[in-house]
Structures are given as C-alpha cells and as structure tokens.
Chain A
C-alpha cells in the first residue's frame, strides 16, 4: 500500500465555507507537505510541516500533524472559487534523497 492517502477523494462546498482534507501515511516522516494542482497544471507547494510541529498556518491555510496517528489535515478557511483544485499531501521520510511520496489527492470544488 502507498503512503499518503487523502480523504475524502472529492469534496464540493459553497464559496465562503471551510474545507478540510485529511491525509494518512504509513512510515515515520521527516516532514509532510501539501501541494495544490489546478486542472492541467503542475503542482504548487502550499505548506510544509515538520515532524516536531503540530500545527502551522499560512494565510487561509491551517495544517495539523499527528505523528502518533500518522495523519495530517489541511483546512482552507473562507474558501473561494479559485481554490478549486486537487490537493495532495506528500510525505518525506528524510534521508539523503528527499524523496516525496504523494497521496492520490482530494479534488476540491468550490461553487460560487
């Protein structure tokens, strides 16, 4: 089985609502990252949380990390139509190669 399983696979909300996406991973990590992918585009880094951190904020984004449960969540507050995209978590297990293992992603649709 793979690292980084996102939940839910798809989420549809109204503009202004909050969106919460969850991610689980299998092995111990150095850090966990969240990326956004707009349709037909490359991935864009959103936020990184290290294994010794529990919560991190960046603008309307809030990420939590629970290493005991091997899970993370991404909260987008006051969502906008422009937030419509796929969101991926990616775990980094450390070591010298900085390999990222991506989950399958959550497709978020924000309806105007």
Chain B
C-alpha cells in the first residue's frame, strides 16, 4: 500500500512545454507539500496546502501553480518549462495539530527539461 504516490516518476520534455505532476496520499492527512531537490540534493519547500487551502507559498516563479482538488491530492502544473526547472520534485503529506509534524514523502518525479 503506497502512502504517498506521485506520477509520473520520470518526465522528459522540451523547453517551453507545459507539464503536470500528480500526487496522492492515502494517509488521511490534511496537509500536503511540494519540494524541489536540485542536482546538489538541496531540498527546498515550494508550496503547502492545508485542507485544500494554500498555507505556504515560497518564492517560486508563477509558472508553477499548485492545485488541490481535495485533501488527498495536490498536483503541480508548470508552464513554459525552463532548463533550470530540471530537478526532482517531491510531494509530502503530514497531519497537523497532532503534536508531531512528521512528513511522509513520495518517491519523487525526476523532471528533465531539454
């Protein structure tokens, strides 16, 4: 049983294209996150949604638009892809307000922009 799943696992595309990455969690958590991990393995938060509402929006180009249709899903749409968008994108989820904020991560989506 996969707790946090992402699709696709690999995504290779040309500059200028628009692409989406999907994330689903079956843990019943109310908060989901998107992180970007660069080639040096530095992991940086991009967005966070709590109960479908945006609560964290770091300094991310507005070409990146998250969408949360329900608590179990958080998708990431990227417009006009650039070479610098190449990275591994991780989705994560957690349950706030339970005295612990352990985050559960998906397997990642490796995006390569050519």
Contacts and interface: CB of A to CB of B under 8 A. Distances in A.
A99 B43 contact: no
Contacts of B48: 97-99
A104 to B, nearest CB: 5
Interface string B30-53: 010001000011111100101000
Nearest to A94: B101
B9 to A, nearest CB: 10
Contacts of B31: 98
Interface stretch (B65-73, B75-83, B103-111): B103-111
A92 B108 contact: no
A98 B96 contact: yes
B109 to A, nearest CB: 10
Contact of A45 (B40, B50, B102): B102
B100 interface: yes
Interface residues of B, number: 26
Contacts of A33: 101-102
Interface residues of A, number: 24
B25 to A, nearest CB: 12
Interface string A59-75: 00000000000000000
A31 interface: yes
Given A42-B106, A97-B55, A48 B41 contact: no
Nearest to B48: A97
Interface of A: 2, 31, 33, 35, 37, 40-45, 48, 86, 88, 92, 96-102, 104-105
27 contacts: A2-B42, A31-B101, A33-B102, A35-B105, A37-B41, A41-B107, A41-B108, A42-B105, A42-B108, A43-B90, A43-B92, A43-B103, A48-B101, A86-B41, A92-B101, A96-B55, A97-B48, A97-B50, A97-B55, A98-B31, A98-B48, A99-B45, A99-B48, A100-B101, A102-B42, A104-B40, A104-B42
